[in-house]
Structure 1
Amino acid sequence: MSAHAGHTDGPTADVSVRVGWADDAPGIAAVQVSAWRKEYAELLPAEVLDSFDAEQFAAAWATSLNSPQDARNRVLVALERNTVRGFAVTGPSADPDVDPVAHGEISELTVDPATTRHGHGSRLVQACADTLRADRFSTALVWLNSDDDVRRAFLTAAGWAPDGAHRELDLHGDGTVRVKQVRLHTDLAE
């Protein structure tokens, strides 16, 4: 018998997803800053990445957690014990080509880069689908960068598929940094 049999403090111990509270704002901000610094390292200059301020992000998160703009806007947090390891934001889709009553969206899906491949993303995606279904949406949408093959494979394995929609974001507003995105969808019917 291994000395590690029954050992439960690995990455799968005491993990959960729940609706975010204002007290989670600093943890959400820390995950966001860490993830964005990694995700945008090739797109944004180092001084922009370095300027991301977790305290400013936390203040914005606290405000949105305390007073969401729509009753169906939800922030979900993936926890390992009491530490935020990832977060997701769901709500009605703002896309002009879909019905916001029927189409919900995951507008943020972020996991701390230091804790990827521990199941936090899978738990968040499932919780998002459950939350959107509970909010009476029939279809869920998510946008992702067109070159993000890892995230696309992850979502495709979870039952999502491209719906043919695409867009281009202008990150600086001056045309110097553009990001092409594709939209995926999944049916929320039980």
Structure 2
Amino acid sequence: MAEAEVRDAAPSDAPEIARIQLSTWRSAYADLLPAAVLDELDAAETEAQWHRTLTEGPASVLVATEGTWLVGFCAAGPAPEPETASADGSVPDDAAEVALVSSLLVEPRWGRRGHGGRLLGAMAQKMTGLGATRGITWVPEADTASVSFFRGVGWDPDGTVRTLDAGGRPVRELRLSGSLDLRFR
């Protein structure tokens, strides 16, 4: 394997981050999302959104590289209070110390090489440095690979679910939560 690294994303990474997001969604979520939704994803708009995130925040973004290739990314930041609330709307005592991992994607052709773990581990350290003690993420229930990945680092479903409308098809998401002191199995 070529040398693998994780580094802070730069604005110049926006095109590759957008490409990875779109190609990964189109591959990994082909059975989960309607084809029309995936077909309507706009590369230029996605790239512009990532460029704004990289230049204006609020998320921190890390990228994984293997050799000269950018192969994945992770975006996270302080969790908005509504994201931390339980199903009944109550906010946990540690809400101010919760990081939201909003995206963690590794392009499928680079999968199973440790990039996801390196990205999440580096982001957990970064969020811990900003005062977070716990992380949360939302994962489609049908995305068993992602659920398994997060469970493998000690993040488990916490009982909170939400259903999103994906082009007329409901997508049920589980919230997974765990310590930022990750335990890789």
Q: TM-score normalized by structure 1?
A: 0.83
Instruction: Measure, in 1, the Cα distance between the counterparts of 2:120 and 2:79.
Output: 16
For residues 144-164 of structure 1, the C-alpha deviation after alignment (integer angstroms, 9 at most, x for no partner) is 111222211211111212211
Q: How does 1:121-132 map to 2 (within 5 A)?
A: 121-132=116-127
The answer to whether the 8 A contact 1:166-1:182 is kept is yes
Amino acid paired to 1:91: G
Determine the C-alpha separation between the residues in 1 that align with 2:61 and 2:18: 12
Where relative contact order (Cα < 8 A, 6+ residues apart) is larger, the structure is 2
Q: Distance in 1 between matches of 2:17 and 2:138?
A: 20
Which whole-Å CA distance do the structure 2 matches of 1:124 and 1:31 have between them? Answer: 15
Alpha-carbon offset, residue 35 of structure 1: 0.7
Indicate which of 54, 73, 76 corresponds to 1:90. 76
- Higher share of residues assigned helix: 2
Q: Which residue of 1 aligns with 2:176?
A: 184
> By how many angstroms is 1:77 displaced?
0.7
The residue number in structure 2 matching 1:138 is 133
1:107 matched to 2:102: yes
Structure 2 CA distance for aligned equivalents of residues 56 and 114 of structure 1: 24
SS of the counterpart of 2:154?
A: coil
Secondary structure of the corresponding residue to residue 66 of structure 1: helix
User: Is the Cα contact below 8 Å between 1:88 and 1:108 reproduced in 2?
Assistant: yes
1:86 Cα deviation after fit? 0.6
SS of residue in 1 equivalent to 2:136: strand
Distance 1:42 1:128 in 2: 29
Residue segments in structure 2 that go unaligned for 5+ positions in a row: 86-90
Separation of aligned partners in 1, 2:43 and 2:109: 17
Give aligned-pair identity as a percent.
37
Matches for 1:35-114 after TM superposition, within 5 Å:
35-68=24-57, 70=58, 73-94=59-80, 95=83, 97=85, 98=91, 100-114=95-109
> 1:171 maps to what in 2?
166
Deviations 1:3-56 (A, max 9, x none): xxxxxxx2xx21111111101011101101101111331244434423333333
Aligned alpha-carbon RMSD (Å): 1.8
Whether the 8 Å contact between 1:89 and 1:106 is mirrored in structure 2 is yes
Q: Secondary structure of the equivalent of 1:101?
A: helix
Corresponding residue SS for 1:185: strand
> Shift in Å at residue 187 of structure 1?
1.5
| 2: CA distance, partners of 1:149 / 1:44 | 15
User: Runs ≥4 in structure 1, deviation > 4 angstroms?
Assistant: none
